[in-house]
C-alpha cells in the first residue's frame, strides 16, 4: 500500500515562496527610493535652470551697461553671475549651485547690443 499524501504545500515550498516575495519587495523598495532621488535632482536642476534663465534675461535687458559681478545666497543654494562688456556685445555667465553643493548649472550667453 502506498502512503497517501496530504493536499497542500510542503514547508520548503512555502519558504521558497517567502524568499522570492521578500526579494521582490526589496527590489521594489530600492526602485522607489531611486525614483525619489532622481525626482529630487530633476527638481533642483529645473529650479537652477529657471534661476539662470531669469538672471540672464535680467542682465540682457541692461545690455551695454558697465561690467557687473555678484553673488547671491539663499536657502536653495548660491548663484554667482558676471557680465562683461565688449565693443558691441555682452558676455553673461551665471552659475547656480544647490544647497548640497553637488548640483551645478552654468550658463554662458553672448548678447549683441543694438543701440
Considering the domain boundaries, does residue 101 fall inside one?
Answer: yes
Q: How confident is the model at residue 115 (pLDDT cuts 50, 70, 90)?
A: low
Alpha-carbon dihedral 58, 60, 63, 67, rounded to 10 degrees: 70
**How many domains does the chain contain in total?**
1
Q: Is the pTM of this model over 0.75?
A: no
Considering the domain boundaries, does residue 5 fall inside one?
Answer: no
Percent of the chain with pLDDT over 70: 90
Which pLDDT does position 21 carry in this prediction? 96
Considering the domain boundaries, does residue 3 fall inside one?
Answer: no
Considering the domain boundaries, does residue 46 fall inside one?
Answer: yes
Nearest residue to 59 (alpha-carbon basis) of 38, 36, 89, 30: 89
How many Å apart are CA 67 and CA 86, to the nearest integer? 9
How far does CA 51 lie from the centroid of its chain? 14
With 90 as the cut, is the pLDDT of residue 16 above it? Answer: yes
Residue located via cell numbers 562683461: 84
Enclosing domain of residue 87: 11-112
Considering the domain boundaries, does residue 4 fall inside one?
Answer: no
Taking only the tens place, the pLDDT of each residue in 57-109 is 887 777 767 888 888 888 778 888 888 888 878 888 888 887 766 667 778 88
Amino acid at each position: 500500500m502506498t502512503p497517501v499524501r496530504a493536499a497542500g504545500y510542503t514547508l520548503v515550498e512555502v519558504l521558497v515562496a517567502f524568499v522570492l516575495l521578500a526579494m521582490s519587495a526589496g527590489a521594489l523598495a530600492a526602485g522607489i527610493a531611486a525614483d525619489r532621488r532622481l525626482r529630487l535632482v530633476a527638481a533642483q536642476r529645473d529650479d537652477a535652470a529657471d534661476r539662470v534663465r531669469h538672471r540672464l534675461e535680467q542682465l540682457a535687458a541692461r545690455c551695454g551697461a558697465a561690467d557687473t559681478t555678484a553673488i547671491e545666497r539663499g536657502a536653495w543654494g548660491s548663484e554667482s553671475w558676471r557680465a562683461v562688456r565688449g565693443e558691441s556685445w555682452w558676455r553673461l555667465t551665471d552659475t547656480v549651485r544647490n544647497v548640497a553643493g553637488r548640483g551645478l548649472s552654468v550658463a554662458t550667453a553672448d548678447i549683441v547690443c543694438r543701440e
